[in-house]
Amino acid sequence: MARQSLAERRRQLTEAALRAMTRDGVAKTTTRSIAAEAGVSLSVFHYCFDSKQVLLESVIEAITEHYITVVKEAIRPRATLRETIRAGFRAYWEHVCAHPGEHMLTYELTQYALRQPGFEHLARRQYELYADTYTELIEELGRSMDFELRVPAPTLARYLAAMTDGLTLSLLVLGKDAAPVSADILDTITDHVANLVGDGIRGEPVP
């Protein structure tokens, strides 16, 4: 069997930690259980991660990468800017519906970090990562479509992060009860975000 690089091992253990924490919760997940989930020895775990803080940051980045990859694939330029924005929100919503445990873990990680002395910076890093990721998405879309933001990209990014945060928590709490109004919610959010943008694709005014 080919020897895995450190980066590959870290990725393997991060995904194992994500699965274990989603299933058992952050507090109940141990380094031993993560190593067992990944099928490696405990010494391999400690070789890859020298602290729990480093592991948790890696898990936070992995969760964000999971859903951002889905959104990036969905948010390719479409006939209008509104259609493009809605496709991105729809992809995110569907990811939450398909992986509620993973998204629930994001809130658990935040609470754990805020309550654990010395870990508070991880919660800040988590939300900075959300804002940075949305900023990147906005800038990438801006390069591929002809529009002008009515607010600075970092401001819009933090707004999107806060809005999707609340939307996600609402879905996790309400579950299937949220499904009947999901289309209306997505339409409302899409219109609101589109109105924060100036000229749309091909110079078409945003409604």
Report yes or no: 168 and 186 within 8 Å, Cβ to Cβ.
Answer: no
* pLDDT at residue 205 in the model: 41
- Contacts (Cβ under 8 Å, ≥6 apart) of 204: 80, 81
* pLDDT at residue 113 in the model: 93
Which residue type does 171 have?
L
* pLDDT at residue 203 in the model: 41
* pLDDT at residue 198 in the model: 60
Helices (H), the chain: 6-24, 31-38, 42-48, 52-74, 81-98, 100-115, 120-144, 153-174, 182-194
* pLDDT at residue 84 in the model: 92
Q: Which single residue is written with the structure tokens 């990680």?
A: 109
Q: Which single residue is written with the structure tokens 């602290």?
A: 51
Q: Which residues of the chain have pLDDT under 50?
A: 1, 199-207
Q: Which single residue is written with the structure tokens 């694709």?
A: 201
